[in-house]
Amino acid sequence: MEPSLVTSIGKIQLERPVMLASGILGISLDVFNRLYRSGAGAVVSKSLSTEPWDGYPNPTIFGINGGGWINAVGLSNPGAPNFAKMIEPNKDVPIIISLVGSIPEDFSTMVEQFKNSKVIAYELNLSCPHVAKVGLEVGDDPELVKKIVSTVKNSTNVPVIAKVGLGTTHYLNTVSAAIDSGIDAITAINTIRAIAIDVETQRPILSNKFGGLSGTPIKPIALRCVYEISSKYDIPIIGCGGISTWEDALEFILAGASAIQIGSAIGDNWIHVFNDINKGILQYMKRKGYSKIDEMIGLAKKS
**Does 77 appear as a known binding residue?**
no
Q: How far apart are CA 241 and CA 43, in angstroms?
A: 16
76 annotated binding-site participant: no
- Asked if 73 contacts 56 with a C-beta cutoff of 8 angstroms, the reply is yes
263 marked ligand binding residue: yes
- Give yes or no: 128 in active site: yes
Residue 75 known to bind ligand: yes
> Is residue 158 annotated as involved in ligand binding?
no
CA distance 36 to 40: 5
Determine whether the annotation assigns residue 241 to a binding site: yes
Query: CB neighbours of 109 closer than 8 A, spacing ≥ 6?
Result: 50, 80
User: Does the annotation flag 74 for ligand binding?
Assistant: yes
Contact 214, 248 (CB under 8 A): no
Is 161 annotated as ligand-binding? no
> What is the dihedral angle through the alpha carbons of 238, 139, 104, 55, rounded to the nearest 10 degrees?
-90
**Known binder of ligand: residue 71?**
yes
The answer on whether 22 is annotated among ligand-binding residues is yes
Distance, in Å, from the CA atom of 68 to the CA atom of 47, rounded to the nearest integer, reads: 21
**73 appears as a binding residue in the annotation:** yes
User: Is 133 annotated as contributing to ligand binding?
Assistant: no
Find the catalytic residue in 119, 128, 148, 166: 128
Whole-number Å distance between alpha carbons of 261 and 174: 20
From 257, 231, 232, 230, select the one nearest 241 (Cα to Cα): 257
Intra-chain end-to-end CA distance of the chain, in Å: 29
Residues 21, 32: Cα–Cα separation, whole Å = 12
User: 232 among the known binding-site residues?
Assistant: no
Residues belonging to the binding site are 22, 46-47, 71-75, 125, 163, 189-191, 215, 241-242, 263-264
Q: Which active-site residues does the annotation give?
A: 128
Residues belonging to the binding site for substrate are 46, 71-75, 125, 190-191
Residues belonging to the binding site for FMN are 22, 46-47, 125, 163, 189, 215, 241-242, 263-264
